Chain A
Amino acid sequence: MRLEMAIPLWLWRTGAFIISVLLGLLVSSLVLVISNTPIYATYRAIYTGSLGSLDALQGSLVYAEPIAFTGLAAAIAFRAQVWNIGGEGQMAIGAFGAALIALNTNLPDPYMLLAVVVCGAFCAGFWGLLPAALKVWLGVNEVLSTLMLNYVAILWIQFLVFGPWRDPSGGWPYSSYFPTQADLPPIAGSLDIGVIAAPCLAIMLAFLLRFTRWGFEVSVVGHSHASARYAAISVSRVVIQVMVCSGAVAGLAGIQQVCGTAGRLYVLTPGYGYLGILVSWLAGHNPVLVLVMAVFYGILLQGGSALRIAQIEPSLVSVIQAAVILFALAGLTLAARYRPRQVSNMKARQ
């Protein structure tokens, strides 16, 4: 089915997304009605709590930061049609790498921070290399392998913070505090430098993907392996490079959480890795849009915690999130399949 209207594709997609969000909100409102929760008060609380004040905005951005990184990580991989579900684990290993340097050395400023970030990214990149190697040499499905590696990574962190790296002064399960040189410099209130780093990274990625030779190769591999071979591009090489980068960027999310918000190693809040994948998918794997979606998510999450204050059940926000995503999934998939065309293209079949 092809529509003969002249609607530009971006408008079609955006329209589909907006309609999906509205439908999601509609369904969520039904849930509210059924549970006797006041609709207006709820939405108002979410709004005020996430956007209503500077503090609220800050809170939203704090939530958005790690999601932005994992979202960008997912975007890199999915652009090449590599299904990296391992953001969760790569994030954890990134945190581990950061802690490795922070807890075991005493470098001065600014080398400490540099070393921490480099080590974290390197370790996380390695965690992305493993499933890539398995895929390229043994044909292992990366969805399954990255999923498994997530658990290994999370368990490794748990092992460390409950065991050898546990803070001796009691409060478990955390490691000792990192030396202050390893903390991310703050920007305003509770926001750290990550808030600037993420957009910079997004712009860099967008540039990389659009204007460099490597970015072109990633795009070609993502669209068609046959065309890639035709263009003499090694699909294996690109897959490995992409996974290493993706892992490293996801690692930044982990580094940000242990060096920024917490200041020590702990078992990271589960879910940011998977949220990153969803966010990237909604953004069509476009780095700049990923930022937008991550902020959108940050607002939802912040709104959720604000509900507690308003004496409304905070998990409602998860329901809204999920309803929106499910509708967006259906809407965007359908929009992609039944897109409007400029020229009718009839192929005769023999």
Chain B
Amino acid sequence: MYYPVMKITEFDRDEVLSDFLTDYLDGNLEKVEVNSFEGFLKMNPTEKEFAQKAAKGKKALEFMRKHTKNSRQLA
């Protein structure tokens, strides 16, 4: 089985940053916090790439959830 080799990021080292990312992806940050977090991402390309992939993965799962729900409703 293939597992992508993912780089270790600051999110793995710092729980506060990991929390920040979770809230960012859930849309639970205030505007000023969003700006500050995006500023951090701008300065850290590895973390930015990771955050973008996590956001896209979350959207893919959202699509899956909606599609599964619709299929079950049609069944």
A binds B: no
Q: Which residues of B contact A (CB under 8 A)?
A: none
